Structure 1
Amino acid sequence: MFWYGRDPSGWGWFTMSVGMILFWTVLIVFAVLLFRTVSRSADGGAGTGNAQPGPTPEQLLAERFARGEIDEEEYCRRLTVLRPGGGAGSGKF
């Protein structure tokens, strides 16, 4: 292959080694990203699929009441609006 004394010098071997390391790095990164994309699609959406949902609006309202940010009257009024069939369609607005 390397006739007439034209073999790769020290830099040639170094360049080939670095090139091979970069090739395998790119190939492995591509495979991992492809696997993550496919597995995320199989879960049915973005994210990890095991994320905990945030607190409900009723829980947030209860926390505000417990901290004293709102009084009992306002808590009851807002809780009525939040619950299904509550004050949203009753024409109070």
Structure 2
Amino acid sequence: MMDGFGMTGGYGYGGLFMILWWVLIIVGIVALVKWLAAPLGAGSRPGSGSKALDLLKERYARGEIDEQEFQKRKRDLTQ
């Protein structure tokens, strides 16, 4: 007797679609979390210039460069 489940042990296409549905939900949540977290780490990405700007600020704070040099180099880095 089949009990309405057929020969697939009770899952059939409904079970397959249920698994795919949960995979899509999990992938969507992971993508959303990555998208929301991206602005938080944007300054630490390579090529962003943030590390160079931090180093420039440190040099200015230590007195290694004057304000005019600091402003010139800052302008160069942020263009």
TM-score range, shorter chain: 0.3 to 0.5
Name which one, 1 or 2, has greater alpha-carbon Rg.
1
TM-score, length-scaled by structure 2: 0.44
TM-score, length-scaled by structure 1: 0.38
Higher relative contact order (CA 8 A, sep 6+): 2
